[in-house]
Amino acid sequence: MTSSNPVLPPDRLARFHHDVIEWFGGAARDLPWRRDASAWAVMVSEFMLQQTPVSRVLPVYETWIERWPTPTDLAAEPVGEAVRAWGRLGYPRRALRLHAAATAIVERHGGEVPTSFEDLLALPGVGDYTAAAITSFAHGGRAVVMDTNVRRVFARVVSGVEFPATAVTAAERRIATGLLPDEDAHVWAAATMELGALVCTARSPRCAACPVTDLCRWRAAGYPEHDGPARRGQAWEGTDRQCRGRLMAVLRDASAPVLKARLDAVWPDDAQRERALDGLVADGLVEPVGTDAFALPGT
Ligand code: SF4
């Protein structure tokens, strides 16, 4: 890294890189998408890991990648099978987008996940973050990978605050770019992400086990409390999301179209259930069959 880095003085920056990467060498979890870091494996894992913890992703990922080891394998099946295999991961529109991305990869790139950042970004469901993750983790490229874990670590160590802003700011992106090492940027990306996931967690950071305790500005400042907008809780009971989840579970478990009466039986509030079902149809996650039945799309 150059001596004129605007984010941290060169000696602190060099220590930050060294200490986090060295820690990662001994602490990195043995995850299947790291063992086989093909572009497709990384892509599938990143779609699944959005807003979902590793422990819930692991079994679904293993089954998925065994059944569909390439984009071509997934694209050859009806989209409803992708929705079914998504199981209880939540936010099942991600399954639709992953299937659409696989189809686009087959149509535009002969079944190979593209390597250029622009081609990745042009795929359905692939934004800056996922394109950067594939570039970094699969291709060993130099990209600014900013997930919630990385953002929290940088907010604490560099900016001295407990949490970053709700959405990525230009200032934050400048900091993350300034921190990116010239070499081993892909290891740095994975290491900072792992530090946020395992040590510098949102609610109870384990500072005693942290490799950068002495560099952390939030800690040095005495852990000032977050003064930004309240962070959103994950309400679930009684929500439309819970209702959608119940309806999807019935359809996933069925091998044939399901009569509406069976869906009516799993949620007592008529208005909420109808709204949820309409939403699932509008999202393309469910298809009406005839006048009184529903199924996963294309199944
Ligand atoms: S010292 Fe604590 S708050 Fe600072 S980066 Fe490490 S774990 Fe996070």
Q: Which of 20, 24, 150, 153 to mutate to test the pocket of ligand 1 (most atoms within 8 A of CB)?
A: 153
Q: Which two tokens stand for residue 57?
A: 């992703």
Closest ligand 1 atom, residue 223 Cα: 3
What is the predicted pLDDT for the residue at 7?
86
150 CB near ligand 1 (under 6 Å) = no
Q: Rounded mean pLDDT of 11-34? A: 97
Residue 204 has pLDDT above 90, yes or no: yes
219 CB near ligand 1 (under 6 Å) = yes
Say what the pTM is. 0.90
pLDDT tens digits along 129-152:
999 999 999 999 999 999 999 999
What's the pLDDT band for 2 if we cut at 50, 70, 90? very low
Q: Checking DSSP bridges between strand 258-259 and strand 287-289, what pairing results, if any?
A: unpaired
What is the predicted pLDDT for the residue at 3?
45
**Residues in Cβ contact with 61 at an 8 Å cutoff, skipping those fewer than 6 apart:** 32, 33, 44, 45, 48
158 CB near ligand 1 (under 6 Å) = no
Q: Which of 159, 163, 218 to mutate to test the pocket of ligand 1 (most atoms within 8 A of CB)?
A: 218
Active site residues: 46
The answer to whether the CB of 127 falls within 8 A of the CB of 121 is yes
User: Can you tell me the distance from the alpha carbon of 136 to that of 132, in angstroms, rounded to the nearest whole number?
Assistant: 6
Q: How far is the CA of 173 from the centre of ligand 1 (A)?
A: 20
pLDDT tens digits along 80-101:
999 999 999 999 999 999 999 9
What's the pLDDT band for 198 if we cut at 50, 70, 90? very high
200 CB near ligand 1 (under 6 Å) = yes
157 CB near ligand 1 (under 6 Å) = yes
pLDDT tens digits along 117-130:
999 999 999 999 99
Q: Which of 157, 193, 201 to mutate to test the pocket of ligand 1 (most atoms within 8 A of CB)?
A: 157
Residue found by looking up tokens 């160590």 in the block: 157
Q: What is the DSSP string of 21-61?
A: HHHHHHH----HHHHT--HHHHHHHHHHHTTS-HHHHHHHH
Nearest C-alpha neighbor of 31 from the set 14, 6, 16, 53:
53
Residue found by looking up tokens 């992708």 in the block: 82
pLDDT tens digits along 229-253:
777 666 788 899 999 999 999 999 9
151 CB near ligand 1 (under 6 Å) = no
Q: How far is the CA of 217 from the centre of ligand 1 (A)?
A: 9
pLDDT tens digits along 250-281:
999 999 999 999 999 999 999 999 999 999 99
> Alpha carbon of 186 to those of 35, 134, 220, 248: distances in Å?
15, 10, 28, 37
Q: Rounded mean pLDDT of 14-34? A: 97
pLDDT tens digits along 147-188:
999 999 999 999 999 999 999 999 999 999 999 999 999 999
> Alpha carbon of 22 to those of 5, 107, 175, 188: distances in Å?
22, 42, 22, 10
| Residue nearest (by alpha carbon) to ligand 1 atom 2 | 207
**Residues in Cβ contact with 48 at an 8 Å cutoff, skipping those fewer than 6 apart:** 57, 60, 61, 64, 89, 94
Q: How far is the CA of 195 from the centre of ligand 1 (A)?
A: 9
Handedness of CA 242, 245, 250, 251 (dihedral sign): positive
20 CB near ligand 1 (under 6 Å) = no
**Residue 199 C-beta-side C-alpha neighbours within 13 Å:** 23
**Order of all β-strands in the sheet with 287-289:** 258-259, 293-295, 287-289
What is the predicted pLDDT for the residue at 138?
97
Nearest C-alpha neighbor of 64 from the set 86, 79, 49:
86
pLDDT tens digits along 26-68:
999 999 999 999 999 999 999 999 989 999 999 999 999 999 9
Q: What is the 3-state secondary structure (H, E, C) of 94-160?
A: HHHHHHHHHHHHHHHHCCCCCCCHHHHHCCCCCCHHHHHHHHHHHCCCCCCCCCHHHHHHHHHHHHC
The torsion defined by the Cα of 70, 72, 73 and 79, in degrees rounded to 10, comes to 120
Angle between helix 185-198 and 10-27 (nearest 10): 70
211 CB near ligand 1 (under 6 Å) = no
